Amino acid sequence: MSTDRPVKPLKVALFGSGRIGQVHARNIADHPDLELAWIADPFIDGARTLAAETGAIAVESADEVFANGDLDAVVIGSPTSTHVDLISRAMARGVAALCEKPIDLDIERALACRDAIKGNNTPLMLGFNRRFDPHFAAIQSRVAAGEIGRLEQLTIISRDPAPAPAAYIATSGGIFRDQSIHDLDMARFFVPDIIEVSATGANLFCDYIEEAGDFDSVVITLKGRDGELVTITNSRHSAFGHDQRLEAFGSEGMLSAGNVTPTTVRKYGAAGTEESDAYLPFFLERYAAAYRNELDSFAKAIRAGIPCSPGFDDGLQALALANAAEESARSGRAVRIENSVKIGQP
């Protein structure tokens, strides 16, 4: 008979019971090595409903979370404006953190946070969940293994089904920091060292986005240190639903991932052929596996005592690229990254 004592699951607190908080809550509750102990949200009714479903305790404030001596990890799914403070508190307590993107809308605040936590080895992960999407992750590892030779061009297409409401757009930080940031991180997943950013934006269909001074459609071009070219195409709408595609083109071939449908059933009729189900509606469905895999990677990194990936600097780099894209779209000029925001390694 084994004398090994069973390992107790890691005690986790979740901040935020909104859209992304609900995804994380269910995934934490389902994870064999994690226990969802607390859900914190000043909107206590939201926290209570989610806590009742997942077996957690609902609390109103971060103070109540950090007062618990047996807290092992936090997942930060509260609004962007709360991220820097909650990361800082978790790191100061030596509590591992998985924080949603972006770190902050203001890179100066993010850089100040980085300085404050410099040298702190507590696991800290940034929620760029798309790195954990099985389709994109498979392409990235096959490119890294040299299957298509030298990577020359990467094409990322990411269109939302419909624009977010005006109130969300007003505080989103703009399309580059809100939507494109996922694709900028995806670009860095394949081409970590980006040296130049060009972008252009347009207002093609949404009045309230234009009134907010933002674009509803953008195209970004990135240049990698070894000459790789990356294009990112974003739109806040798509008549045929959530459009998420990626193509890696190399000297020896190409790897591509198309949109995902609930089934592979195809209809063939007089009016058309190859008709499939509609694409998975939006990010909650399309990236469901990615959120689970991301959380699993976080838990494993804590247990193994290894750095989390993507980490805080990946969050900073993606934010710097988003800022550069905004600058390029407003000025009409390409932005060299070395001359923009300088971010060294910690």
List the beta bridge partners of residue 235. Answer: 159, 217
Query: Rounded to the nearest whole angstrom, what is the least distance from the CB of residue 63 to ligand NAD in the complex?
Result: 11
87 CB-near residues (< 8 Å, 6+ apart) = 76, 97, 99, 103, 113, 117, 124, 312
Nearer to ligand NAD, 123 or 127 (CB): 127
Nearer to ligand NAD, 12 or 148 (CB): 12
Query: Rounded to the nearest whole angstrom, what is the least distance from the CB of residue 16 to ligand NAD in the complex?
Result: 3
Nearer to ligand NAD, 65 or 117 (CB): 65
**Cα torsion through 252, 257, 258, 264, rounded to 10:** 110
Residue ranges binding ligand NAD (CB under 6 A): 15-21, 40-43, 46, 62, 77-80, 82, 100-101, 127, 129, 283
Query: Rounded to the nearest whole angstrom, what is the least distance from the CB of residue 145 to ligand NAD in the complex?
Result: 27
Q: Which of 209, 208, 224, 201 is nearest to 325 (CA)?
A: 201
In DSSP notation, 126-155 reads EE-GGGG-HHHHHHHHHHHTTTTSSEEEEE
Query: Rounded to the nearest whole angstrom, what is the least distance from the CB of residue 84 to ligand NAD in the complex?
Result: 11
Q: Which of 64, 62, 122 is nearest to 93 (CA)?
A: 122
Query: Rounded to the nearest whole angstrom, what is the least distance from the CB of residue 188 to ligand NAD in the complex?
Result: 15
229 CB-near residues (< 8 Å, 6+ apart) = 152, 153, 154, 221, 222, 223
Residues 194 and 187: beta-carbon distance below 8 Å: yes
Query: Rounded to the nearest whole angstrom, what is the least distance from the CB of residue 324 to ligand NAD in the complex?
Result: 19
Nearer to ligand NAD, 81 or 121 (CB): 81
DSSP assigned state of 179: I
The CA–CA distances, whole Å, from 9 to 36, 55, 57, 179 equal 9, 14, 16, 34
Nearer to ligand NAD, 100 or 314 (CB): 100
Nearer to ligand NAD, 23 or 191 (CB): 23
Residue sitting closest to ligand NAD (CB): 18
Rg for the chain, CA atoms, rounded: 21
Nearer to ligand NAD, 43 or 240 (CB): 43
Residues 102 and 173: beta-carbon distance below 8 Å: yes
Query: Rounded to the nearest whole angstrom, what is the least distance from the CB of residue 283 to ligand NAD in the complex?
Result: 5
